[in-house]
Every structure is written in C-alpha cells, then in structure tokens.
C-alpha cells in the first residue's frame, strides 16, 4: 500500500473524494485543498493519472507530528528535519514513482536504496559512481501559520536538499528534474512526499485560452455537482472558450453537450479547443504545461492559481466520449425549446472582469433557464458575484420561487472565493 495525496481545488474536495471512491472503491479523507487515500503500490497505480478532479498527485513517504520544529532555534529545528531522511520510506516512494510513470528511474530505485543503507550505517557523503543518477529538486510548502517556525520554507528545502545530495549523490536541478521531493510543514505536522505528476492534470482540454478560462478540474467539480446521467442534455449557455462543455464531453459518456456564448471570439476559441481534441485523438500527445517554474532547485510555493492562465500551446490529453457542439446565442433568449434541457452547468460573468450588469443579467438568465429546463432540471453555476445571485434567489420572489437551492460551496478560483450553486427547477 502507498498513501497518495492529491492537490485539489479548494471547495471541491468532496468531488475528488467521490471520484476516488467511484474509480478505486477506497475512502479518501480531505482537508483544505487536498485529499489523501491509500492504494496498492503496483503497476496499476498509473491509473491515478486519469483522475479528473485532482490537479497534482504525490506519494507520501512520511507523515508525522513533530513538535521539535516549533519554537526551537533555526539550527535545532532544521537538524530535526534533516535527521528524518534516514527514516523515510524511500523504497515505497521511489517504487510508486516508477509504477505511476511506468518508467524506471535513471539507475533504478535499488541503487538509491543501497546508498541509503550505506548512509544509515556510516552517515558518510555518497562517494560512489555518480554517472546516470537521477536529478532532483526539493520544494517546501508551509500553508499554516509561519511564526511558529524560526526558519523559512527555503531554509527547510535547502537543508533537506543537502542531506539528500549527501546520501544519494543525486545532482540538484531546477527544472526538468527526475524527482521532486516535497516537504509540507503545517504547524508541527510534517509530510514528505514524492511528486507523481510533473504537470498539473488540469492541463488537458484547452489550447486557446481566454481571460476567464476555467481550469478543467473546476469544470469537473461543477459538473459533478449537477451529476449528469447517461442520455441527458447538458448546456453551458455562457461557455467562453468551451472549458465546461469540453470537460463534460471528455469526462462523461452518452451525454449530448451544447455550449454557447454571445462573443464570437470566445466561440472561435471553443471551436479551436474542440478541433485540438479531435486532432490529438489521432496523434500522440506532447503537451507541455508546467504550473510553476522557478530558478532554484529549492522552492517554496503559495497555492497554485486555479484559473487556467498558462498560455503555452499544449496538446489536449483528453478523448471525446460524448458529442459536443457550440453555437452563438444570447443566453437570455436561447434558441431551445421549453423543457428541453436536463442540466445547465456554467460559469457566470463575475461582473468586474467582463463589465456585465449582473443586476439585470442574472434575473434574465434565471428566468430563461427555468423556461428551457425540464421539471427537476439542475443548474450548477459558479459566480464571484454572490451578493447579486443570493439577492435574486432569496429576495426576488418571481424568480426565487422557480428554484430550490440544493447546495452551495465556496470555491477558490485563482485566489477569488467564488460560490457554486446547485439549483433545481421547482
Ligand atoms: C465567466 S465567462 C465564462 C468562461 C468560460 N467558463 C471559460 O472557461 O472560458 C462568461 C461568458 O459569458 C459570456 N456572456 C456574457 N453575457 C452573455 C449573454 N447574454 N449571452 C451569452 N453569453 C454571454 C461572455 O462572453 C463570457 O464568455
């Protein structure tokens, strides 16, 4: 067994736990922006790369509460961290990395285990053959309060990096490294992990980005709120570059998916993104989409952005499982019949970014969506403009009485706390 940690969109932890349970039949626990679950450490572990609600994955090689790092001087605290190295379950971690990537580490993981055993007995710096050793980087994240520690994240990453170099002889490298060791420190809790994903798994559907293109993992969480069923029609009436319809059509089978927008440039992007998926189905993917590139092999990061801002041209890694089409329309006057749609899943204009007047737009949208949705039809809608949305739903009687609010979730979208509503038509 190996413990896997997944970094997920804050607010959509429940969606990731649900997906892990559906896919692997195991229970995942969640904390803010993360899920943790156990799986057998076998070649089939590579299946985790097909999870759609998770941004990045890590093999946990040690987790412990470690009071020795709080309220101690810097040297004592860092020594406690570096002393951990010999206790870590490197064998399981490196094997998990090989199982997930389906590739042997340069030199094979046994070479690292032999070096570790030698270091455990002598504590002497690695003096063996350095040819063909894997390169590595250490990254340190400290999400909790920092004043408890006398050291900075970079100090901790550098200290652990030095003992790794002493023990294994691995050369440090700032990018294009073979192994990323992640040190997470939250108060006195320490977790040491090996990164199993080099690029975020949200980089899968989109090659043409707009200013408000949503991450595929956020789209997936919204879609899960609506719980599409085979045979249903799913519509995103404000689809922008098509991120929600494309996630629906690649993540679910037997749906009919429709996206529309009133902005022709957005529709051109949607068409280009759809075309890129068609094209990638006929050739191998060579996508490049790294979240953070820094100039040091020892890094400390804040939470990664949740909006898919990476503008690099990538090849989609998804396959279409349901038909999808895009149409230019005004979402307040949809060219769709009464009670013809099962689900609306969408990302509403936030107001500031797109300069929309949401006090007029949101009521018009909610009225029109009530017309096209079947009875008990669902809406999963994300907005940053919670004040307008809640005022309309709670205080505007002609509109409020059309909808039941089934659930709300606060979702972190690139640092903005947005709200995702699940509504059902009365
Ligand atoms: C927040 S963005 C959607 C972004 C999209 N989820 C994506 O990933 O690209 C909202 C979209 O609503 C569109 N929009 C605003 N008012 C509209 C209307 N009345 N009818 C159709 N589309 C509209 C805007 O052009 C914009 O593309």
Give the CATH number of the domain where residue 383 resides: 3.40.50.150
CB 304 within 8 A of CB 196: no
pLDDT above 50 for 285: no
Tally of domains in the chain: 2
Give CA separation, 150 vs 47, 69, 254, 298, 299, in Å.
40, 8, 56, 18, 18
Q: Do 142 and 285 lie in a common domain?
A: no
- What does the chain come to in residues? 426
- Could you say which of 195, 225, 258 is where a domain stops? 195
Q: Is the pLDDT of residue 259 over 50?
A: yes
By DSSP bridging, strand 34-39 and strand 29-31 are: antiparallel
Confidence of residue 309 (pLDDT cuts 50, 70, 90): very low
201 occurs within a structural domain: no
Does a structural domain hold residue 350? yes
96 is a domain residue:
yes
Whose C-alpha lies nearest to ligand 1, atom 1? Answer: 349
We report the CATH number of the domain holding residue 50 as 3.30.2130.30
Q: CB neighbours of 148 closer than 8 A, spacing ≥ 6?
A: 70, 71, 187, 188
Residue with tokens 């590579």: 46
Residues 185 and 227 in one domain: no
74 and 110: one domain? yes
Kindly give the number of the ligand 1 atom that is closest to the alpha carbon of 214.
8
Average pLDDT over all residues of the chain: 88
**pLDDT per position as a tens digit, 66-90:** 777 777 788 888 888 888 888 889 9
* Contact in structure between 247 and 223 (CB atoms under 8 Å): yes
List the beta bridge partners of residue 308.
Answer: none
| Confidence at residue 278, expressed as pLDDT on a 0 to 100 scale | 87
Count of beta carbons in the 10 Å neighbourhood of residue 328: 12
CA of 313 to the centre of ligand 1 (A): 22
d(CA 103, CA 292): 24
Minimum CA distance residue for ligand 1 atom 8: 213
Residue 253 has pLDDT above 60, yes or no: yes
244 and 107 together in one domain: no
Distance 365 CA to ligand 1 centre (A): 12
Residue 300 confidence (pLDDT) above 70: no
Q: What is the pLDDT of residue 87?
A: 85
147 and 252 assigned to the same domain:
no
pLDDT value of residue 293: 30
349 lines ligand 1 (CB under 6 A): yes
Query: What pLDDT, on the 0 to 100 scale, is given for residue 45?
Result: 93
Query: Which pLDDT score is estimated for 355?
Result: 64
Asked if 149 and 242 sit in the same domain, the reply is: no
Residue 283 has a pLDDT of 55
Structural domain ending residue among the three candidates 132, 166, 195: 195
**Domain hosting residue 369, numbered range:** 216-425
Among protein residues, the one whose CA lies closest to atom 12 of ligand 1: 238
Q: Which residue among 205, 222, 240 has the greatest number of ligand 1 atoms within 8 angstroms of its CB, and so is best to mutate?
A: 240
Residue 202 lies in a domain: no
Query: Which tokens hold the place of 116?
Result: 């570790």
How large is the average pLDDT for residues 83-101?
91
CB-ligand 1 contact for 356 (6 Å cutoff):
yes
Residue 4 has pLDDT above 50, yes or no: yes
- Look at residue 34 and tell me if it is in a domain: yes
Tell me what pLDDT residue 315 has.
61
Assess whether pLDDT exceeds 70 at residue 287. Answer: no
Any ligand 1 atom below 6 A from CB of 212? yes
Q: pLDDT at residue 43 above 50?
A: yes
Does one domain contain both 181 and 290? no
The verdict on 283 and 326 lying in the same domain is yes
For atom 14 of ligand 1, the residue with the nearest CA is 238
Asked if the model's pLDDT at residue 390 lies above 60, the reply is yes
pLDDT-derived band at 146, boundaries 50, 70, 90:
confident
Shared domain check, 80 and 18 = yes
Residue 318 has pLDDT above 50, yes or no: yes
- Judged against a pLDDT cut of 90, whether residue 397 lies above it is answered with no
Asked which of 166, 195, 224 is the last residue of a domain, the reply is 195
Q: What is the mean pLDDT of residues 292-316?
A: 38
Looking at the domain assignment, is residue 209 inside a domain?
A: no
Question: Do residue 185 and residue 281 come from a single domain?
Answer: no
For residues 252 and 159, membership in a common domain is answered with no
Residue 357 has pLDDT above 60, yes or no: yes
Distance, CA of 297 to CA of 173 (rounded, Å) = 5
384 located within any domain: yes
**Are 182 and 304 members of one domain?**
no
Amino acid 288: pLDDT: 33
Residue 291 has pLDDT above 60, yes or no: no
């Amino acid at each position: 067994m190996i413990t896997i940690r997944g970094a997920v969109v804050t607010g959509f932890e429940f969606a990731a736990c649900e997906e892990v349970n559906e896919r692997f039949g195991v229970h995942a626990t969640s904390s803010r922006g993360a899920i943790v679950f156990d799986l057998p450490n076998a070649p089939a572990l590579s299946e985790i790369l097909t999870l759609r609600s998770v941004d990045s994955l890590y093999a946990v090689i040690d987790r412990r509460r470690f009071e020795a790092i709080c309220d101690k001087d810097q040297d004592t605290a860092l020594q406690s961290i570096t002393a951990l190295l010999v206790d870590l379950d490197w064998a399981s971690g490196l094997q998990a990395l090989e199982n997930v990537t389906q590739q042997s580490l340069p030199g094979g993981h046994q070479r690292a285990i032999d070096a570790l055993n030698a270091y455990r007995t002598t504590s002497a710096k690695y003096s063996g053959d350095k040819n063909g050793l894997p390169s590595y980087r250490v990254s340190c994240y400290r999400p909790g309060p920092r004043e408890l520690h006398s050291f900075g994240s970079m100090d901790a990453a550098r200290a652990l990096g030095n003992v790794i170099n002493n023990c294994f002889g691995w050369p440090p490298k700032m990018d294009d490294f073979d192994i990323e060791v992640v040190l997470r420190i939250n108060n006195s809790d320490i977790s040491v992990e090996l990164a199993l994903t080099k690029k975020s798994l949200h980089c899968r559907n989109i090659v043409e980005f707009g200013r408000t293109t949503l991450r595929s993992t956020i789209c997936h969480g919204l879609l899960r709120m609506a719980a599409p069923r085979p045979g249903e029609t799913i519509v995103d009436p404000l689809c922008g570059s098509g991120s929600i319809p494309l996630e629906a059509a690649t993540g679910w089978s037997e749906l009919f998916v429709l996206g529309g927008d009133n902005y022709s440039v957005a529709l051109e992007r949607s068409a280009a993104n759809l075309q890129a998926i068609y094209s990638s189905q006929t050739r191998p993917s060579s996508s490049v989409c790294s979240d953070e590139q820094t100039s040091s092999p020892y890094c400390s990061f804040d939470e990664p952005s949740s909006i898919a801002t990476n503008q690099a041209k990538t090849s989609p890694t998804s396959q279409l499982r349901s038909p999808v089409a895009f149409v230019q329309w005004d979402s307040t006057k949809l060219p769709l019949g009464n009670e013809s749609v099962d689900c609306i899943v969408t990302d509403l204009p936030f107001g500031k970014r797109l300069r929309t007047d949401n006090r007029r737009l949101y009521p018009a949208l909610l009225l029109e969506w009530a017309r096209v949705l079947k009875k008990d039809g669902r809406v999963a809608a994300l907005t940053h403009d919670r004040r307008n949305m809640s005022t309309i739903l709670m205080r505007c009687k002609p509109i409020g009485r059309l909808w039941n609010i089934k659930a709300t979730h606060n979702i972190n979208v690139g640092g903005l706390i947005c709200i995702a509503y699940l509504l059902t038509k009365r």
